[in-house]
A and B are shown apart, each in its own frame.
Chain A
Amino acid sequence: MSAKSLMLLRNTFFSALGVILASYGVMVLASGRPDPFWPLAPALAGVITALVVSLGVWLAGRKTAAVAFDEYSRHEWHSSLRLGFWVAIWLYPLFAVLLVNNIVDYPQAFAAMGTLAAATPFLSFFAKWVGGRI
């Protein structure tokens, strides 16, 4: 597997994971249920992504993987993680307001906050990919 293929694989699975996680979080809020679809789907998507990307790295070999995960791509991933950190922090006051006003209940808040916080770095990476930055 070439570095280009490995980057494509990583970007595709990271993007898909971001979309799945965000969809779950948004659907929790839209449907008013903590399980708008199969509740293990977000976790399973995460595990599949980790396995597929790890397999890709193994098939590509250490040297090729180092090119795919080079300094610039790590820099961009870290920037996505920083955004994810701040979004996760700001979800607390946001959901506090929603809980106090009985717009969501605790099971919904738990499900939505977890998936939305997890989705952010992957969606950010997806946006960078679509924008041609990675």
Chain B
Amino acid sequence: MAKLYNTLKQHRARLSLTQAELAEKVEVSRKTINTIENRVFVPSALLALKIARALQTSVHDIFSLEDDG
């Protein structure tokens, strides 16, 4: 089953944003960003697009499918 991989942490670090700062930009709680980053929670397409916009990149650059066989 495919799992969602993300490079959120790297993109956040590129802009020197903390989880709280990114959360404020996309109007969610810090916990939400934390759970997405740790692959606990899979965001909706809308939230993924908001995160990508806040990180000045595309959804494809942040999220990708990871097949585990």
Contact = CB atoms under 8 A, between A and B. Distances in A.
Partners in one complex: yes
A60 to B, nearest CB: 13
Interface string A1-28: 0011001000000000000000000000
B29 A73 contact: yes
B41 A70 contact: no
Interface stretch (A40-48, A61-69, A115-123): A61-69
Interface of A: 3-4, 7, 63, 66-68, 70-73, 75, 133-134
A66 B27 CA distance: 8
Most A Cβ at <10 Å: residue of B23, B31, B43, B44: B31
CB-based closest 9 A-B pairs: A72-B32, A70-B28, A72-B41, A70-B32, A70-B29, A71-B47, A67-B27, A72-B35, A67-B29
Interface of B: 23, 27-29, 31-32, 35-36, 40-41, 43-44, 47
Contacts of B28: 67, 70-72
B45 to A, nearest CB: 11
